[in-house]
Structure 1
Amino acid sequence: MVRVWLSRLPLLADALGRAHAPAHDQHSFAASITELIDARNRDEVWLALSVLTGRFPTESLVLKTARDSEFDPHALFAAVRSETTRESASWRVVVEREKTLVDVGDTSASTLATGIQRVVREVAKRWAAMDDVRFVGWTQQWQSLRDLEALELARVERGIARDGEEDPAHADVVVVPWQTSYILLEVSAEPPRSDRTRAMARFSGCHTTALCYDLIPVTSSETSSPGMTGVFAHYMAALKYFDRLSTISKATAVEYLGWREMLPAAGLIGPDIIPVLLPASVGESDDAAIAGARDRLIIGEVPLILVVGSHEPRKNHLAILQAAEILWREGHEFSLSFIGSRSWRGDEYHDRIRQLQDQGRPVESVTHAGDSLLWAAYRVARFTVFPSLNEGFGLPVAESLSVGTPVVTSNFGSTAEIAETGGALLVDPRDDDDLTAAMRTLLTDDDVLLRLQIEARSRPRTSWDDYAESLWRALQQG
């Protein structure tokens, strides 16, 4: 361990812009860091622990070490000695002081393609062309930031999800941010990661920013997965020390502004909050893709109603199935296709799908659909339905409207915000009759359908290129 500490000591001194006394053994090393570091300065303690151990300290460790140093000049060395592991001693450590570190740890190692992963990938592959960006992930057990593996970086830069087995998280290069910029581009869903990020935001001297998607685990906790509310609390505890947050809608900004209003009770000001709306954009569909979607999803000449979104209670899919059964019993002919991944607490939804299929109803749940099928599905559907109970943005609403396909969606929050410029029927998602009536209207009233199609096609167009540029400007420049 001593050899490792000695090799990292010049790196620490260089980051601080100070000379250090020569050291060749444990005793002289302890003396050197005692002279080099002002152990009462918590920022310097954070940096010293991160560089010398290769592991980012928690807030409590930084505070304890700084306080103990008031009475014990060797407290910092004791903390370095206890926190260095054989694993962390094998890593190469670098201090980043110039480039912006963009944290994509989950997305670069995930098989998921949910809304968050899609946003991260669309933004990251555009930022990858910028010279002043360095993408990072985390070591195993969320101990410290690290450079991405080549395959992970390629996935981020190409904006594609992983195929096949997951790669091991090798920590060849640990990256310590010091007085530079750090962007958390995804939700930190792991408490150890959030806890270390909190200390980094508080003590590293970095300009820390994040892209925030929603506050659903707080405002609609009954629809979240078990334990998510507690996990989310760790994430929010880190964000309170950040400098700036960008939200994906004005509605989400309202939620975060409400959260920030509470922070003065804890003696904190909280971050700036700037909404930057996600774009309304989907990929192109050629004739072959359209034909393939028709063959896959269309039954005879009956119209297709499309529902896009993961199968979880918040998406309100049971209400859609209830409305569909009422309409089928009234004699209306249509097929209903759900496209989205499986998620938590979806058993009742899947059971209901099977019951309706056993009764001969034309309904299906597609859990594995590539982008080509999804983009074409939006275009061949008569209309889409998205009556979510709470949504940070509602990409399926924006995507459907971007190709001119009308939407039935919720009359509040971000979905109502998206629908302001036309193309949608707004409903109370908690009122089954209201939802049924809107679906009935778009099935039977061609004049209303045409009016909404015209409105949707007249909406202003936005792109992921525009969004990535606007987000960078909001986070880095204000």
Structure 2
Amino acid sequence: MKNILKGWIRALLVDPKVIAIARKFLGPFPIVEDYVRVWNYLLKKKLFSNNSALTYTVRDQANIVAVNCEQKQLLIDISELILRDVHTGIQRVVHGILQKLLSNSPIGHYIVKAVYADASGQLRFANKFTQKLLAEVEHDADDSLIEARSGDIFFCPDLHLNYPFATLAALQQRGLHIIFAIHDIIGLRNAHLFPRAYELAFTDWIAGVMSVTDAIVCVSRTVASEVKTWLEEHPGQRTYPLPIGYFHLGANIESSQPIQAPENDSILILAACRSHPTILMVGTIEPRKGHSQALAAMEIFWKVGMDLNLVIIGKEGWRTQQLARQLRRHPERNQHLFWLENASDSLLIELYKQSSALLAASFAEGFGLPLIEAAYYGLPIIARDIPIFHEVAGEYAYYFPNTNSSDLAESIQHWLELDAQGNAPQSKGMPYLTWEQSTQQLLKVLLEDNWYTTYQPDKVDTTNKSDSTG
């Protein structure tokens, strides 16, 4: 009975509908919401940190430990995507990679299979999700427990903060090779930009990853270097060598829905794009994305009567209640200011084609997917002067100083003048990858050991790795 109750609570804590209701109720009370998030995480941590999954895995995988099969498995973890698919950020990346890997399976000696951790911490094949993603003829697909063999590779491109690392540790002892993707470490280096609950969860997640992973793959050279530097600054996090690789993301937007006729808001926004210069921002509304500073800069233009539009595409995120209220009640709303929280891929593509420039105002990023999406459609880029944007866009973007809204307004004004003269940097020649090319670059790291660098601790722990993580 106790285990049944625990399972019910676990399922409730990760239920998207329950989470949505809680967020709606707590939204007007940000301080209370922060406390509830912390309590929620600590409860999840307690419930998910038991060793039941470990015990199960040891018992039920025993008969397949030493199987020597020529056809090995490349297991792609999509645990967070299974719970909630918001079609943006990391989940857009997971979709892009997974679709290409599954479509090209088998890859060499590896057959690709999607997997996920269920509410009890056991790993299952994501057969139902795969069937839907590939638009296969429906049959009674069963999300059965995984059968991992020695020599199989487990790769997690997703970010599931309550991951059952004990399960992976048990499978690792039986020959499973484990690799995690790290999209950024902003939660470690700029914790003030996130709620306390996320800081706690991300710190625990990193510790879990470092305890079991055989290698990591980052989404940029910048993040790979940052991870290595962070490990050197925190030597206790990893006591044995860690290969670190990276790959770049794809630029072509994979739309999972057929293009539909524009809705009223879409028609209004696209008409505004055609009538006046339009600055486009793409990404979840979060403090680190720089929306507040961008809005303040645009207000400088609107106060003097300048016809300049700001279009924001992105859902409301954490710690943005005040900004969201400001956007919804702004006097320029639907005049020069437009905010769509649930724009379709087809509308986003049209905005990339018809806007004047993309504004990448983030204070910190792991990659900056909108930059290469903008370049794919030939949209000029105005980007904050931070290292990752230079890695992604190089000389093909106009950079503004990482200072204040007044300086940003001056930079936008300067870019408008350069654009009018035909001298603004153009993104059209900017190098980028398609998702097919991105996936091939990733496979070179995963299957051919094409590592960028290796973290070497000062004193390498000679203890057997499997024993140290058990």
Q: CA deviation at 1:236?
A: 1.2
Match of 1:459 in 2: 430
Tell me how far apart the structure 2 counterparts of residues 158 and 119 of structure 1 sit (CA, whole Å). 19
**What letter corresponds to residue 105 of structure 2 in structure 1?**
M
Flag the 1:298–1:144 CA change in 2: closer, same or farther, 3 A: same
Q: Do residues 418 (structure 1) and 392 (structure 2) align?
A: yes
Q: CA deviation at 1:130?
A: 1.2
Q: CA deviation at 1:175?
A: 3.3
Encode CA deviations 1:270-302: one digit per residue, 9 max, x unaligned.
42111212233346999988x996654332722
Tell me how far apart the structure 2 counterparts of residues 349 and 59 of structure 1 sit (CA, whole Å). 36
Tell me how far apart the structure 2 counterparts of residues 359 and 367 of structure 1 sit (CA, whole Å). 14
2:79 counterpart SS class = coil
Q: CA deviation at 1:90?
A: 11
TM-score scaled to structure 1, two decimals? 0.71
Tell me how far apart the structure 2 counterparts of residues 456 and 371 of structure 1 sit (CA, whole Å). 21
Mapping for residues 57-96 of structure 1, pairs under 5 Å? none
Match of 1:303 in 2: 277
Q: CA deviation at 1:401?
A: 2.2
**Which structure exhibits the higher relative contact order, with contacts defined as CA atoms closer than 8 Å and separated by 6 or more residues?**
2
Match of 2:21 in 1: none
1:281 counterpart SS class = coil
Q: CA deviation at 1:248?
A: 0.8
Match of 2:126 in 1: 148
Match of 1:175 in 2: 147
User: Over aligned residues, Cα RMSD in angstroms?
Assistant: 3.6
The one of 430, 442, 455 equivalent to 2:415 is 442
Paired residues of 2:77 and 2:116 also in contact (CA < 8 A): yes
Mapping for residues 237-248 of structure 1, pairs under 5 Å? 237-240=207-210, 241-248=212-219
**What letter corresponds to residue 248 of structure 2 in structure 1?**
L
Flag the 1:212–1:123 CA change in 2: closer, same or farther, 3 A: same
Tell me how far apart the structure 1 counterparts of residues 266 and 254 of structure 2 sit (CA, whole Å). 14
Tell me how far apart the structure 2 counterparts of residues 233 and 318 of structure 1 sit (CA, whole Å). 27
Tell me how far apart the structure 1 counterparts of residues 286 and 325 of structure 2 sit (CA, whole Å). 13
Q: CA deviation at 1:441?
A: 2.3
Encode CA deviations 1:61-111: one digit per residue, 9 max, x unaligned.
6xxxxxxxxxxxxxxxxx99x9569xx999999768621221112213423
**What letter corresponds to residue 195 of structure 2 in structure 1?**
S
The one of 237, 248, 252 equivalent to 2:223 is 252
Tell me how far apart the structure 1 counterparts of residues 166 and 59 of structure 2 sit (CA, whole Å). 22
Flag the 1:360–1:175 CA change in 2: closer, same or farther, 3 A: closer
The one of 251, 269, 280 equivalent to 2:240 is 269
Tell me how far apart the structure 1 counterparts of residues 265 and 322 of structure 2 sit (CA, whole Å). 30
Match of 2:160 in 1: 188
Q: CA deviation at 1:263?
A: 5.8
Mapping for residues 306-345 of structure 1, pairs under 5 Å? 306-345=280-319
Match of 2:184 in 1: 214
Tell me how far apart the structure 2 counterparts of residues 295 and 238 of structure 1 sit (CA, whole Å). 47
Tell me how far apart the structure 2 counterparts of residues 230 and 473 of structure 1 sit (CA, whole Å). 33
Tell me how far apart the structure 1 counterparts of residues 334 and 343 of structure 2 sit (CA, whole Å). 23
Tell me how far apart the structure 2 counterparts of residues 379 and 465 of structure 1 sit (CA, whole Å). 22
Paired residues of 1:125 and 1:157 also in contact (CA < 8 A): yes
Calculate percent identity across the aligned residue pairs.
22
Flag the 1:360–1:135 CA change in 2: closer, same or farther, 3 A: closer
- Structure 2 unpaired stretches of 5+: 1-47, 450-470
Match of 1:39 in 2: none
Paired residues of 1:93 and 1:173 also in contact (CA < 8 A): no
Q: Which entry has the higher C-alpha Rg, 1 or 2?
A: 1
**What letter corresponds to residue 147 of structure 1 in structure 2?**
F
Q: CA deviation at 1:376?
A: 1.0
TM-score scaled to structure 2, two decimals? 0.72
The one of 104, 116, 130 equivalent to 2:105 is 130
Tell me how far apart the structure 1 counterparts of residues 331 and 419 of structure 2 sit (CA, whole Å). 28
Paired residues of 1:391 and 1:413 also in contact (CA < 8 A): no
Paired residues of 1:322 and 1:432 also in contact (CA < 8 A): yes
Encode CA deviations 1:424-461: one digit per residue, 9 max, x unaligned.
2112333222211121223344345x3336x3112234
Encode CA deviations 1:235-282: one digit per residue, 9 max, x unaligned.
212322322211111111111111332464466124211121223334
Paired residues of 1:293 and 1:376 also in contact (CA < 8 A): no
Q: Do residues 224 (structure 1) and 194 (structure 2) align?
A: yes
1:452 counterpart SS class = coil
How many residue pairs were aligned?
385
- Structure 1 unpaired stretches of 5+: 1-57, 62-78, 160-168
Paired residues of 2:415 and 2:424 also in contact (CA < 8 A): no
Encode CA deviations 1:367-424: one digit per residue, 9 max, x unaligned.
01111000110110011111101100011122112222112111112112222131x2
Match of 2:342 in 1: 368
The one of 344, 351, 359 equivalent to 1:377 is 351
Q: Do residues 429 (structure 1) and 402 (structure 2) align?
A: yes
Paired residues of 1:294 and 1:380 also in contact (CA < 8 A): no
